[in-house]
Amino acid sequence: MVAEKSKGLTRVREIYRDRPGRIIELKEEGKKIIGYLCIYPVLELMTALDLVPYRIFGDMREPITKADSFLPTVVCPFLRSCLDLGLKGKYDFLDGIVTTHICDVGSNLAGIWNYSVKTPFSHNIDVPHTAHETAQEQERELIKAFQKVLEEFTGEKITGEKLTRAIEVHNQQRALVRELYDLKKLDPPLISGTETIQVIRALMSLPVEEGNQLMREVISEVKERKDGPTRKSARLLLWGSIIDDSALTEMIESLDANIVMDDTCVGSRAYFDDVKVTNDPVEGLAHRYLVDIKCPRTFRARDYNDVRKDYMADLESRFSYLVDYAKDWKADGVILESVRYCDTHGYEVPGIRDYLNSLGIPSVYLEHDYTEGALAPLRTRVQGFLEVIG
Amino acid sequence: MYFAGIDLGSTMTKIVIVDEDQKTCSSVIKHTGAEHRRLANKVMEEAMEQAGLSFDEISYVIATGYGRINVPFADRQITELTCHARGVYSLFPGVRIAIDIGGQDAKGLRINGGKLVDFVMSDKCAAGTGRFLEVIADALGLKLEDFGNISLKSTNRVSISSTCTVFAQQEVISRLSEGIPLEDIIAGLHDAIASRVARMVRRLRIEPDVVFTGGVAKNIGVVKALQDNLGCEVLVPDEPLLSGAIGAALLARELTLDALAKGEPIQRGERRLEEATFFK
């Protein structure tokens, strides 16, 4: 198997082309593979039980044909694509699937997947959509329930030691991702936005320790390389819903711009927050997975009891991290993207734009269909945006 | 010195050549179509002939529009957003908002001192574009050019509720079968386009002068409907198809003269006056 020989970015590209290759090998060795949707399932619990978490992605290059019998066409095409691949047997190697209440479509998808794809083990975590104290308490209970279900499934107990160790290796991975992103602060960045997505996709396709090894290889390779991105006129921050294929970033980077930072869930959003070490590890996990991850699926208000909201203060508390990203990575502008019908991200856009406008940070909003073929009009928007900020 | 702008739109190809003093030396408008797009060089030759110029005498060529990436004789490509903004500004220096409705999409531009500062674009959907009217004209067996004048006779405009071209076509047919006069239906169609585009452009905050360009601006019915929907006067150039090509030619001139003034090299393309080969 080629995967054994190649390293670093070469390995990343191989995994990008043949994603389940390594995971099927592991399955043949007797490992249990658990598919998960979105970044809210607690990976540490699976790792602690020697299960291999494997993120479920769609495929924007594959026409959706089977899922339309189960989900209407006016919902998230990413989730429709995931289900479509499940129905076509592309995820038959999974021993289980873990879903969360991502959004309404996401949680309904969990049920539909169960009776239509019939993966042997399944569990849904009903993650709350706000992060106030009672929601955090609920999240802690949900994590405990998830732990119990996993223990029943494997017939093994998660000891404190195993869980602490799992938290450590996942935090290591997060630190390695942040280290890689630091190399994007340079001008030109040492790694492109397209390569970054491919690296993160590889991490989400491998057991955590193997991913950490791959990250170390990638980081040392990227530091030394001479064939990295060239300097371009604009440095961009990319915010938005899931991008699990590099077609969109390739289009953007084929223009006079480098994507130097992102806030998407196949990117920094999935890795920038560590699990803090707490006496009861569940507390640290709950805080990280509910409060710290900055996906719009969780409403993070400045003050949940504030009935007469101060709009700008609320925006400041929710989105100032984006401005920090823009400053630290020296971004000239922000691309806000959302897959069509993603209300979760779409509703966030006017607020983010108001906030960015108030600080004089230019932004453009792109809505896309999760298909590779419809990028030409988006190209005009991005190029027009670059001309505006140029 | 001479400068050319080519605007390869989804429906029409437009070329404008200007001289150093910004005077227009030639302007040509042709249907794009599959063959014409491949033969953009022929349209260019026609424009050069009109101006009495050889290709070597043209200092810089900028391509814009949907087909901009496939013009082998262009030095550089700039989006139609920036080119329209520049072109409209040259025609109406007081412009703050430009609305362009072409064959494939509708755009709203916010312009400040000739510079594009913000924009909105319609999505990949024929509703709210010239294609919408083309499809309906075809279904009715009428000439698109006649739509504007027919609609002016309307006394009781119908409301077309479908924003989708396909469904609007059905709606038009059923209205006809109800015996509603043609002019009231066509006036309804114009209002449907105008209200859709107005809703989109309002995101930029409407501020006069508002200029309307693109093929659809030739339709007096849509111009009036747009004025009604925006609640302000809408200015239309004598030739609303040319603003993108004019802008491209003027930008070609500015880039070249700027570079010369600064003593910087001019970044050139391959400048092959031949067929684009992307159909292979």
Q: pTM (2 decimals)?
A: 0.91
At residue A230, φ and ψ (nearest 5 deg) are -90, 165
Residue A273 has pLDDT above 90, yes or no: yes
Give residue A288's pLDDT. 97
Distance from CA of A371 to the nearest CA of B (A): 13
Nearest 5°: phi and psi at A160?
-55, -40
At residue B124, the pLDDT reads: 66
By the 10 Å C-beta count (0-12 exposed, 13-18 middle, 19+ buried), A274 is classed as middle
Please indicate if any CB of chain B lies within 8 Å of the CB of A313. Answer: no
Q: What is the pLDDT along chain B (280 residues), one digit of tens a residue?
A: 999 999 998 888 999 999 999 999 999 999 888 776 677 889 999 999 999 999 999 999 999 998 898 888 999 999 999 999 999 999 999 999 999 998 888 999 999 998 999 999 987 676 778 888 888 888 888 998 899 999 999 999 998 877 677 778 888 888 889 999 999 999 999 999 999 899 999 999 999 999 999 999 999 999 999 999 999 999 999 999 999 999 999 999 999 999 999 999 888 887 888 877 654 4
* Bridge partners of residue A34, in order along the sequence: A53, A96
CATH topology of domain A163-189+232-389: Rossmann fold (3.40.50)
3-state secondary structure of A334: strand
Q: Under CATH, which number does the domain B2-84+242-262 receive?
A: 3.30.420.40
Is residue A387 within 8 angstroms of chain B, CB to CB?
yes
CATH number assigned to the domain covering B93-235: 3.30.420.40
Query: Which whole number is the average pLDDT over A261-275?
Result: 98
Residue that the structure tokens 């592991």 belong to: A26
The answer to whether the CB atoms of B79 and A376 lie below 8 A apart is: no
Exposed / middle / buried, residue B119 (Cβ in 10 Å: 0-12, 13-18, 19+): buried
This model of the complex carries an ipTM of: 0.86
The fraction of chain A above a pLDDT of 70, given in percent, is: 99
Subunit contact A367:B121, Cβ cutoff 8 A: no
Taking all residues of chain A, what is their mean pLDDT, rounded to a whole number?
A: 95
Residues of each domain in chain A carrying CATH 3.40.50.11890: 21-156
Q: Residues of A with CB below 8 A from B82's CB?
A: 384, 387-388
What value, to the nearest 5°, has the Cα angle with vertex B279 and ends B276 and B280? 105
Query: What is the C-alpha radius of gyration for chain B, rounded to an integer number of angstroms?
Result: 20
- Per-residue pLDDT of A116-168, as tens digits, reads 999 999 999 999 999 999 999 999 999 999 999 999 999 999 999 999 999 99
Cβ <8 Å between A388 and B119: yes
pLDDT at A193: 98
Checking if the pLDDT of A13 tops 90, the result is yes
Chain B residues in contact with A387 by the CB 8 A cut-off are 78-79, 81-82, 116
Q: How far is CA B65 from CA A55, A286, B53, B78, B248, in A?
A: 40, 51, 24, 8, 10
B81 contacts on A by Cβ (under 8 Å): 380, 384, 387-388
Structure tokens at B94: 């007081």
Angular region, A109: left φ>0, alpha ψ -120 to 50, beta rest: alpha
- The per-residue pLDDT for B36 is 66
B78 and A387 within 8 Å at the Cβ level: the answer is: yes
Has residue A4 got a pLDDT over 70? no
Question: What are φ and ψ of residue B141, in 5° steps?
Answer: 70, 30
Q: How far apart are the first and last CA of chain B?
A: 35
DSSP collapsed to 3 states, chain B:
CEEEEEEECCCEEEEEEEECCCCEEEEEEEECCHHHHHCHHHHHHHHHHHHCCCHHHEEEEEEECCCHHHCCCCCEECCHHHHHHHHHHHHCCCCCEEEEECCCCEEEEEEECCEEEEEEECCCCCCCCHHHHHHHHHHHCCCHHHHHHHHHCCCCCCCCCCCCHHHHHHHHHHHHHCCCCHHHHHHHHHHHHHHHHHHHHHHHCCCCCEEEECHHHHCHHHHHHHHHHHCCCEECCCCCCCHHHHHHHHHHHHHHHHHHHHCCCCCCCCCCCCCCCCCC
Chain B residues closer than 8 Å to A376 by CB: 66
From chain A, the residues in CB contact with B121 under 8 A are 377, 380-381
Q: How far is B116 from chain A (nearest CA, A)?
A: 6
Whether A380 sits inside 8 A of B116 (CB atoms) is no
pLDDT at A101 over 90: yes
Find how far residue A258's CA is from the centre of its chain: 20
Return the DSSP state at A270: G
CB atoms within 10 A of CB A4: 9
**Strands B12-19 and B24-31, sheet pairing:** antiparallel
Cross-chain residue pair A377–B105, CB shorter than 8 Å: yes
The per-residue pLDDT for range A40-72, each reduced to its tens digit, is 999 999 999 999 999 999 999 999 999 999 999
Q: Find out whether A163 and A44 touch, Cβ atoms under 8 Å.
A: yes
Q: Which of B116, B121, B123 sits opposite A388 (nearest CB)?
A: B116
In chain B, CATH 3.30.420.40 sits at 2-84+242-262, 93-235
Which pLDDT value is given to residue B163? Answer: 67
B63 touches chain A (CB under 8 A): no
Q: Which fold has domain A21-156?
A: Rossmann fold (3.40.50)
Q: How far apart are the first and last CA of chain A?
A: 47
Report whether B198 contacts B210 (CB < 8 A). no
Q: Which residues contact A104 (CB under 8 A, 6 or more apart)?
A: none
User: Tens digits of per-residue pLDDT, A164-197?
Assistant: 999 999 999 999 999 999 999 999 999 999 999 9
Chain A environment of B78 (Cβ under 8 Å): 387
Report the distance separating Cα B99 and Cα B109, nearest Å. 6
3-state SS class at A204: coil
Residue ranges matching CATH 3.40.50.11900 in chain A: 163-189+232-389
Q: Taking the CA of residue A222 as centre, how many other CA atoms within 13 Å lie in the half-sphere pointing to its CB?
A: 27
